[in-house]
Structure 1
Amino acid sequence: MNVDEVLKMADALVFAKTGQHLDDLQQAIARGTLQGKKYSEIAQEKHCNESYVRDVGAKLWQTLSEELGEEVKKSNFRSTIQRWQIDHVTNFAQDVVAISSFNTCGQARQPPDIPNQNPENQVTSNPQQSPTFHHDLSEMPKLGNFYNRTAELELLKTLILTEKAQILTITGMIGMEKTALGIKLVEEIKHEFEYVIWRSLETCPTVAQLQNNLTEIFAEGDNQTSRLPLMKYLQNHRCLIILDDINYLFRRGELAGHYQPKSEDYRSLFKQIKERSHQSCFILMGWEYPREIAQIKHPNTHNLILRGLDTASAHQIIAQQGLEPEANGSRFIDYYQGNPLWLKTVANFMVELGLTVSELLANQPFLLPQDLQDILQQPLAYLSEPEKQLLSLLAKEDEAIALVKLLEIAPMPSADLLNTLQSLSRRCWLEKTDRLYRMSPVLRQYLG
């Protein structure tokens, strides 16, 4: 494994443990370690105190140690990652052999008798157990450019295929390309499931309408004249159901997670899927996720919040829009949070006007074109008045703000403030680190 391959593997392991990618200093420590550099050299390159670099390095090795289940330190970093990678591939190969030899009922399974058969309709030769693939992806959008979400993709595949998660939510601010990640995930794992169905909830179908649609597909696949309850199909078959645009189920002008009147029955549906025993998985994608999933941690449920892309992928987006990347463009990327849609929108605007990144960096505040304002207006329309009030207050703060200070300056009772903070965090308008709340520069400019 070369340096970049080891770094990618370390990044994926850290993300799986913490939900965060390696930051710039962690990357520098990992890369410098692989290149045989001392902490003092890394500190000099990053203009940091050596003791601080040592502390960050120690925490990085500890995180990797916890994830790998063995001690990782500066001296064995490369060898440990390489050994884990080899073991991982070996175990995966063994799993493939086991899966190809046995089905879920423990019966031997042979390769299909019919050559060149379409895998979408592949049937095994076992006369007693002959599952057919039924993939209804008619509502799944076409995947365009897919940028580096390797760590997120691997985490989702592990949760679904290894840990057998029953509900996964993929959330994030508008523009983070949640749908693109979902499409890529489906393309890579769809043949692990008998049924794969993608549905958009933008038209707000009722639970009854959704269940009728799903059970109709299941009944046709089972050649049944009468339909069973949805849960029976989820128990009898390995199903992957993707519900995109879930945010359209919720009310505007309320705190996060309040359903529209005709969507209230989704609450009991998601509760059933989470708590009942079955062998299927639901993936919910949108700006926010159901409160009944967020309220109580459950081993069968997981939430992935998408953050901005890495610098290399962001530069790729800029170049594809026709904007010449520049060496100092990382500040431009950071300002727009590495958000793919925001970067595309601003880069396209700059190309139309003939602006360069250097010219943009000389401008304060940065550009906020009308097209980007229209994009931000969509999730803004769902916020409650207390949320808008609190965001307006935070938009005046250049630095992250502590909860103690917020309690002092917010024009609302403490209980209301805490509920509002929780709602804004679930809707990804705020980020919380080390008990500090912050808004992105773009959102501050938009609301300021």
Structure 2
Amino acid sequence: MADALVFAKTGQHLDDLQQAIARGTLQGKKYSEIAQEKHCNESYVRDVGAKLWQILSKELEEEVTEEVTKVTKSNFRSTMERLQFALFSSNVAQDSVQIRNINICGEARQPPDTTNQNPQNKTTSNPQQTPTFHHDLSEMPKLGSFYNRTAELELLKKEILTEKAQLLTITGMIGMGKTALGIKLVEEIKHEFEYVIWRSLETCPTLAQLQNNLTEIFTEGDNQTSPLPLMNLMKFLQNHRCLIILDDIHYLFMRGELAGHYQPKYEDYRSFFKQIKERSHQTCFLLIGWEYPREIAQIKHPNTPNLILTGLDTASAHQIIAEQGLEPEANGSRFIDHYQGNPLWLKTVANFMVELGLTVTEVLQNQPLLFPQDLKDILQQPLAYLSEPEKQLLSLLAKENEAIALVKLLEIAPMPYADLLDILQSLCRRYWIEKTDHLYGMSPVLRPYQF
């Protein structure tokens, strides 16, 4: 019934979140519980709920009852029950809502997070209508365990929703949880966009293939009878609020070269990202990967912020190793710091220790610390992208027990000064070395690796 009232007022059926709010309210759930179920921010759920009650109140006042009825979360159930009885008694169900098919919350007319193809949901001229959501998240991985990234989430939401950033990147060493953070972000803000599309570049689509895929989705969502011309793609992005996530961006780049060099058949992505960055539009592209394109790194721009994801806080890292079955120990923080708070590294090493019956204390008493084969296999993926000069420089840094200055690097590195600077920049962009107070060094966990 609520769905019918909203449709009568706005020309749109209840979306997935509105249905969850109505259904949850009927079941006596709090906003916080509904927000948790839908992976949304509680304040956002409250805002959507307030607008829903306002629409229902207006429709009840104008179309169904002669007296003013202000719908709230607390009286929603009783209001719907009174309305159902009134409609049945006055026999007006044929004119407004079919009593024999009463549906207080409204059933989902489409699978969640997919394009809505119901012709009843076409755009109308009603100025108060809410946009129909077209969410294609078929390539988005399922979110598993998620650990505290509150600060990073809030920063991303601010950049996207408040600052209207057009091109963002989430980068960091493999295993830091970049994709998981992107998934959590999408779950919390997807209802702010008409279109939300997640695509993985692991299959290495060309730019033409990606654009064709996007235009097919936009054509279907915009009720076009023929494909949207590629030249109109930017115009569509200017007229519609879209969030497009491109995960695994690093697969576009060449192996054996310095950071950010495109493979020949993906060079046109360079001009595409440049166009997205510089032209005015309503869309946000979020790029996720081990490294980011050189054209983004070269020019700092307020519309293209980069979030570098680092290790988890100590409490979250302790939670990870506890979940793997390791007993908490007083010196656990040293163990966590050694593996840089990297979620995947910690899980891998902790699982290895549990299998062998090792404790944190035993591991810390031996040097070098554990570097199991499973962790080597994980690091082999980004290592395959390094150039030979980069591997050569890492081998030299691995022999140093602490970070060293550029002057000393020049003494031990058999390469010209200009080449050394380019290599250092590339390794920093790939997060294989750390720069602190003009000193360059490697994480202790990486030093045993044979480069």
Same fold per TM (> 0.5)?
yes
One-letter code aligned to 1:384: S
Question: Structure 2: how far apart are the matches of 1:97 and 1:142?
Answer: 27
For 1:333, the equivalent position in structure 2 comes to: 336
One-letter code aligned to 1:282: F
For 1:216, the equivalent position in structure 2 comes to: 216
Question: Structure 1: how far apart are the matches of 2:123 and 2:220?
Answer: 19
Alignment of 1:19-98 (within 5 A): none
Q: CA deviation at 1:230?
A: 1.8
Q: Pick from 388, 393, 396: which aligns with 1:393? A: 396
Q: Pick from 243, 253, 257: which aligns with 1:254? A: 257
For 1:169, the equivalent position in structure 2 comes to: 169
One-letter code aligned to 1:326: E
Q: Is the 8 A contact 2:122 2:223 kept in 1?
A: no
Question: Structure 1: how far apart are the matches of 2:337 and 2:161?
Answer: 34
Question: Structure 2: how far apart are the matches of 1:254 and 1:98?
Answer: 49
For 1:418, the equivalent position in structure 2 comes to: 421
Q: Is the 8 A contact 2:169 2:292 kept in 1?
A: yes
Q: Pick from 407, 410, 427: which aligns with 1:407? A: 410
SS of corresponding position for 1:197: strand
For 2:283, the equivalent position in structure 1 comes to: 280
Question: Structure 2: how far apart are the matches of 1:258 and 1:110?
Answer: 52
Q: CA deviation at 1:124?
A: 8.6
Structure 1 residues 155 and 130: alpha-carbon distance in aligned structure 2, compared to 1, 3 A threshold: closer
Question: Structure 1: how far apart are the matches of 2:161 and 2:49?
Answer: 12
One-letter code aligned to 2:198: W
SS of corresponding position for 1:332: helix
For 1:200, the equivalent position in structure 2 comes to: 200
Q: CA deviation at 1:123?
A: 8.1
Q: Is the 8 A contact 1:170 1:284 kept in 2?
A: yes
SS of corresponding position for 2:305: strand
SS of corresponding position for 1:196: strand
SS of corresponding position for 2:447: helix
Are residues 1:140 and 2:129 paired? Answer: no
Question: Structure 1: how far apart are the matches of 2:278 and 2:55?
Answer: 35
Structure 1 residues 214 and 363: alpha-carbon distance in aligned structure 2, compared to 1, 3 A threshold: same
One-letter code aligned to 1:147: Y
For 1:155, the equivalent position in structure 2 comes to: 155
Question: Structure 2: how far apart are the matches of 1:193 and 1:324?
Answer: 44
Structure 1 residues 93 and 287: alpha-carbon distance in aligned structure 2, compared to 1, 3 A threshold: closer
Question: Structure 1: how far apart are the matches of 2:329 and 2:186?
Answer: 35
Q: CA deviation at 1:195?
A: 0.3
Q: Pick from 295, 300, 304: which aligns with 1:297? A: 300
For 2:105, the equivalent position in structure 1 comes to: 116
Question: Structure 2: how far apart are the matches of 1:390 and 1:286?
Answer: 23
Question: Structure 2: how far apart are the matches of 1:123 and 1:97?
Answer: 24
Structure 1 residues 123 and 401: alpha-carbon distance in aligned structure 2, compared to 1, 3 A threshold: farther
Q: CA deviation at 1:100?
A: 8.1
Q: CA deviation at 1:439?
A: 0.8
Question: Structure 1: how far apart are the matches of 2:432 and 2:198?
Answer: 27
Q: Determine what percentage of the aligned residue pairs are the same residue.
A: 81
SS of corresponding position for 1:300: coil
Q: CA deviation at 1:388?
A: 0.5
Q: CA deviation at 1:328?
A: 0.6
Larger Rg: 1 or 2?
2
Are residues 1:127 and 2:97 paired? Answer: no
Question: Structure 1: how far apart are the matches of 2:421 and 2:218?
Answer: 44
Q: Pick from 348, 353, 358: which aligns with 2:356? A: 353
Q: Is the 8 A contact 2:291 2:430 kept in 1?
A: yes
Q: Is the 8 A contact 2:168 2:285 kept in 1?
A: yes
Structure 1 residues 268 and 354: alpha-carbon distance in aligned structure 2, compared to 1, 3 A threshold: same
Q: Is the 8 A contact 1:193 1:240 kept in 2?
A: yes
Question: Structure 2: how far apart are the matches of 1:439 and 1:123?
Answer: 56
Q: Is the 8 A contact 1:200 1:244 kept in 2?
A: yes
One-letter code aligned to 1:392: S
Q: CA deviation at 1:99?
A: 13
Q: CA deviation at 1:298?
A: 1.1
Q: CA deviation at 1:127?
A: 2.2
SS of corresponding position for 2:431: coil
Structure 1 residues 252 and 126: alpha-carbon distance in aligned structure 2, compared to 1, 3 A threshold: same
Question: Structure 1: how far apart are the matches of 2:309 and 2:341?
Answer: 11
Alignment of 1:184-199 (within 5 A): 184-199=184-199
TM-score, normalization: structure 2?
A: 0.73
Q: Is the 8 A contact 1:123 1:130 kept in 2?
A: no
Q: Is the 8 A contact 1:110 1:126 kept in 2?
A: no
Question: Structure 2: how far apart are the matches of 1:269 and 1:99?
Answer: 39
Structure 1 residues 182 and 98: alpha-carbon distance in aligned structure 2, compared to 1, 3 A threshold: closer
Q: CA deviation at 1:447?
A: 3.6
Indicate the RMSD between aligned Cα atoms, in angstroms: 2.5
Question: Structure 2: how far apart are the matches of 1:93 and 1:429?
Answer: 39
Q: Is the 8 A contact 1:241 1:282 kept in 2?
A: yes
Q: CA deviation at 1:413?
A: 0.5
SS of corresponding position for 2:350: helix
Structure 1 spans left out of the alignment, 5+ residues: 1-91, 102-108
What number of residue pairs does the alignment pair up? 350
Deviation string, structure 1 residues 311-361 (Cα, Å, up to 9, x no partner)? 111110001011112111111111111100000000000111111111111
Structure 1 residues 132 and 287: alpha-carbon distance in aligned structure 2, compared to 1, 3 A threshold: same
Deviation string, structure 1 residues 390-435 (Cα, Å, up to 9, x no partner)? 1111111111111222123211101000100110011111111211
Deviation string, structure 1 residues 62-86 (Cα, Å, up to 9, x no partner)? xxxxxxxxxxxxxxxxxxxxxxxxx
Question: Structure 2: how far apart are the matches of 1:303 and 1:224?
Answer: 35
Q: Pick from 242, 252, 259: which aligns with 1:239? A: 242
Are residues 1:266 and 2:269 paired? Answer: yes
Q: Pick from 311, 314, 321: which aligns with 1:311? A: 314
